[in-house]
Structure formats: structure tokens, C-alpha cells
Amino acid sequence: MAKLFLGLDSSTQSLSTVVIDLDARKVLCEQSLNFDRALPHYGTRNGVLPNRDPLVKHSPPLMWAEALDLLFARMKKDGVPLSKILAVSGSGQQHGSVYFNDRAAGALEHLDPQQSLVENLRGAFSRKTSPIWMDSSTAKECAEIRKKLGGIKFTASRTGSDTFERFTGPQIRKLFKTEPKAHARTAGIALVSSFMASLLAGKIAPIDFGDGAGMNLMDIRRKNWNHDALKATAPGLIGKLPPLTASGQVIGPASSYFVKKFGLNAEALATVWTGDNPASVIGLGLIKPGQVAISLGTSDTFFGTMEKCQTDENGEGHVFGSPAGGYMTLICFKNGSLAREKIRELYKIPDWKKFGELVAQTPPGNNGGILLPWFEAEIVPRVNRPGIHRFDLDEQNAAANCRAIFEAQMMSMRLHSEWMQVSPEQIYATGGASNDLALLQVMADVMNCRVLRIEISKSAALGAALIAAHGWLAATGQKPKWERLVSGFTAPVPGSEIHPDKKAAKIYDKLLGKYAACESEALEKISG
Ligand code: XUL
């Protein structure tokens, strides 16, 4: 009998599913439901509720529940073999939080298939809306928690990250300070991932080590709730948080709600979900320590895996538990494609082919010319005042500026990931700009390792399906190996390998010092 597993991904704008056939190493089907289009009555824009305060970004948790009903109904209608699914897992946008009152546990246990999930859950929340990762209204709370935990370095070394506005702890503190009654009414706090897992399992689900690390509440090394962090955040938190565990752990059989209503296999296991980034790490096949992927999108994101927990003293990068054991890191550079496109516009370059030709006209190292392309406020390094800075670089020289943006982005990634103490053997490049060979060559040269392109459209949902498979195999005593599990699902694009040019790599080894000095000088100028 085919071994089928279902992975879901509840992201900001949509809910997606991937069904895999494990033995055939095949994705059987994928589906996606866009919140704004499919559920317009919630009035969200790109999945987020409008708010007068531009810093506040909330979404309605009932919309996510309704989306789950709708997607299961669609899968049933489309003949997806739900009756053969052995286990379900999932991933959620990270950091977002859902607030249950004392009626939630009972409602989840008695989900009535004659009613919708929305009807079943009405009256089970202590707060109608959920702050999500795009919210940046908690600067004060971040400062308060960071201070109580002893500053950036200690906050990062205890919880895996410095305090960030979007992280769940600061969001919980804001609720406690501004709506103490709602905080008191809250019997349970879930993440988006554990909320969705709770619906599937029909009981309050644990939070996993991957998503739990995005809260500023979990002890990153011991992988339990950190009492100092809980105390610094709000009173009584320990009673409101579920246990922490590994993603893929079996919670129990899937709720009979899904069995009776949509024909899900009555023996399907509901397993613990994780965050979308940890799930993507699995979906991209990063399961061994030292493996790295760089996603080149609107922002560029560096994903790495580590066996031992290293944290970033400067508090720029995040450390989460990896679903494959050990740790993963996420470092987000805001000025990714956004900045590359700005340079293309600035020098009126018709297309990326021409852009690559201009880069090829200039030597690696750009004769020492450096550009800091902070068109938008930057996350890494922290730059609040946007602006571009040039050092020994002629503003009129289009070709040198094209090379300079590629080199700056890659040197910044190398510099700001050094704290991980990982030297990658190879890097997987993914995302929109990963088909730009000139950019990938600079990546290979600066990082001094091979680069391979990987194209996976729903890496989080695929990762979630693989986590479900791992959970089921472990629960049935089959000692699964991650390496075997992901193989075939996550292969790089054939022939996409790019090797570093040894001469160029030496030039960048030397240039990195100058780049770091230019960065410090610019940062000082901005803050001074
Ligand atoms: C990660 C983060 C985002 C969300 C997007 O820290 O905030 O990547 O997980 O869904």
C-alpha cells in the first residue's frame, strides 16, 4: 500500500497543501487557497486586517480555521486520496499568536462535523485577532524584556535571538500591559502552527522547538520554557503555554471531525507542526549540520544548519531548533532583489542579461570599490536610516556599480554569518534571483564553495509532509533516517553546479576586511 502523507502550510496570505507518496518519492498533489480571494468576508488584504496604526498587523484566527475547512472540502471534491493518508503535519507563519479562553479545550475535543470549524470555535478565544510576524508595534516591550534578560548578548544566548518586535513574547507583554483583562481571561496561548495542529488533533497541541524558538521565551539550549524570560514577559505564563516538543511527534489520531466530514483515514496520525522556515529547511533538504541555503527573493535569507548551538552576540541572526535535530539559523537581509532592482533602474539597464554582461566586464574585487546598498532600512546590519554609501567606487561607472551590489550582498552574508562557525561545503540557491548565473558566480567566489540551484515551489508544505512521514515512521518503530527520507524530493537542478574561481576567492578573502571596515564607518556615520 502506498504511504501517503499530508503537509499543510498556513502562511500569511494562503493555506497550501502537499501530499507525498513516500515510496514513489513523488509529490502527488498540491493545492493552495488565497485568504483574500477565497474568504473576502474577513476583509483582509494580503491576509492581514487593515489597521489605522501602520505598525499593527493582525489577522483573524477564525479565517485560518475556515480556510482549513475549505481546503479539506476542495481536496475531497478533487478526489485527493484522504482515506489513505497515514499522518498529517504542517507549518505556520512564525511568531503569530492565538489566544484561547477556558472554553477552547472542550470545543476542540468535541468538534461537531455537522457544524463548521468557525461555528465550533466561536466563543473560544480571549482575543479576536492574532498579532502576526509583520507587526512592529512592540519596540517598548522588546526593550523592557531585553533589559531584564541582561542585554542583547544574553537575550540571544538564552532564547536564540535578541528581542524582536514580531516575536511572540514582546507581543504577549503588550497584551498584558494594554489589555490586562484579556491577558487574565487567556487560558492558553498558541502559535499559528500549534493552533492549526490543535484543530487537526482535536486537542491543544504542543509547540515545537523550531517555532517555539521564535518567541523569546524558550531556552534555546535546554529546549524548555525559560523562567526568566517568562517572568520578564508577563505573569502566569507557564500555566498558559503548552509543552514544548519536537515537530512530527504524534499528538494522537486525527480528530474525528476530519474523518467524518472529509473522509480522512480514521487511523491518520495528527503530529506536531513547526514554523514555515524550519519546515522549509527540511523541504530544501538541509538536514546535515553545515548545510546552507540562500533564498534570493525580495529580501535575501540565509538558512544554515548547526549541530551545536551558537548564537549571534550582535543579535542580528536567529537560531531555531531544526526539525531534523540540532539547530538552524535564519538571517534576513532586507535589501535583496529590492536593492538589485534599484541599481538596475538607477543605471537604466534593460534586463538581467545585460546586467550580468556588465558584471563580467569588471574584475572580481572591483578594484577595491565597495557599495553599501541600504535602499530600505536594513535588518542585518541594523540600519534605521536608509541610504547608499560608496567607497572607492565611481558613481558614474555603471558596470562597477552592478558588480558592487552583488559583491556587497554576498560579503555581507559571509560577514554576518561568521558567528555560526560553519564553513559550508556547498550552498543551495533558491528563490526568484537564483537563475541569475552572474550573481551565483559571485556567491560561489565570495563564499568559496560550490553553489547548486534548487527549485521547490512549496518548500514549507513539502517539508511538513516529510516531517509527517518522519513522525509516522518513528511512531511505528521504523527508525527513520532524514537523509533517506528527503532524497529524491529535494534534488538540485541537474547541471546547475557553479564552482568557485580560486583566484577570485582569494581576492574576496582579503577584501572582506575592507568591506567590514566600510560597514562600520557607515554605521558610525549614520548613528553619529
Ligand atoms: C521569520 C519571519 C517570517 C515568517 C513568514 O522570522 O518572521 O519569515 O515566518 O511567514
3-class secondary-structure state, position 5: strand
Ligand 1 site residues, Cβ closer than 6 angstroms: 11-12, 93-95, 133, 166, 214, 275-277, 330
Q: Which three cell numbers, joined as nine digits, stand for 84?
A: 489513505
Mutate to test the pocket of ligand 1, among 133, 134, 168, 208 (most ligand atoms within 8 A of CB): 133
Distance in angstroms (rounded) separating the CA atoms of residues 505 and 447: 8
Q: Note the pLDDT of residue 527.
A: 84
pLDDT, one tens digit per residue, over 71-120 is 999 999 999 999 999 999 999 999 999 999 999 999 999 999 999 999 99
In the numeric block, the cell 473522509 is attached to 263
Give the pLDDT band (50/70/90) at residue 456.
confident
If you average pLDDT over every residue of the chain, what do you get? 96
* % of the chain exceeding 70 in pLDDT: 100
pLDDT digits (tens, 9 = 90+) for 113-149: 999 999 999 999 999 999 999 999 999 999 999 999 9
Buried b (16+ CB within 10 A) or exposed e, 456-487: bebbbbbbbbbbbbbbbbbbeeeebebeebbe
Q: Which residue has the cell 518567541?
A: 215
Strand partners, 190: 98
Spatial contact of 59 and 48, defined as CB atoms under 8 Å apart: yes
Q: HSE-up of 464 (CA within 13 Å, CB side)?
A: 35
Q: What is the pLDDT of residue 120?
A: 98
Q: What are the counts of helices (DSSP H) followed by strands (DSSP E) for the chain?
A: 20, 21
- Residue among 9, 95, 138, 274 whose CB has most ligand 1 atoms within 8 A, to mutate: 95
Give residue 384's pLDDT.
Answer: 84
**Residue pointed to by grid coordinates 498556513:** 10
CA 108 – CA 124 distance, rounded (Å): 9
At 423 the pLDDT is 84
pLDDT at residue 470 tops 90: yes
Whether residue 2 is predicted with pLDDT greater than 90 in this model: the reply is yes
pLDDT, position 26: 95
- The rounded distance, in Å, linking the Cα atoms of 266 and 289 is 37
Selection from 472, 473, 21, 66 nearest residue 253 by Cα: 472
**Pocket perturbation via mutation, ligand 1, pick of 277, 299, 319, 332 by most ligand atoms within 8 A of CB:** 277
pLDDT digits (tens, 9 = 90+) for 394-411: 999 999 999 999 999 999
> What is d(CA 197, CA 190) in angstroms, rounded to the nearest whole number?
10
Which atom number of ligand 1 is nearest to the Cα of residue 164? Answer: 6
pLDDT(298) > 90: no
> Which of residues 384 and 175 earns the better pLDDT score?
175
pLDDT beyond 80 at 69: yes
The alpha helices in 213-336, defined as continuous H runs, are: 227-233, 256-262, 276-283
CA of 361 to the centre of ligand 1 (A): 37
Q: Looking at 31-45, 182-196, 197-211, 414-428, which range is the least confident one?
A: 414-428
Place of cell 471534491: 77
Q: From ligand 1's centre to the CA of 354, what distance in Å?
A: 33
Write the CB contacts of 433 (distance below 8 Å, at least 6 apart in sequence): 296, 297, 336, 337, 340, 439
What's the whole-number mean pLDDT along residues 292-311? 93
Q: pTM for the complete prediction?
A: 0.94
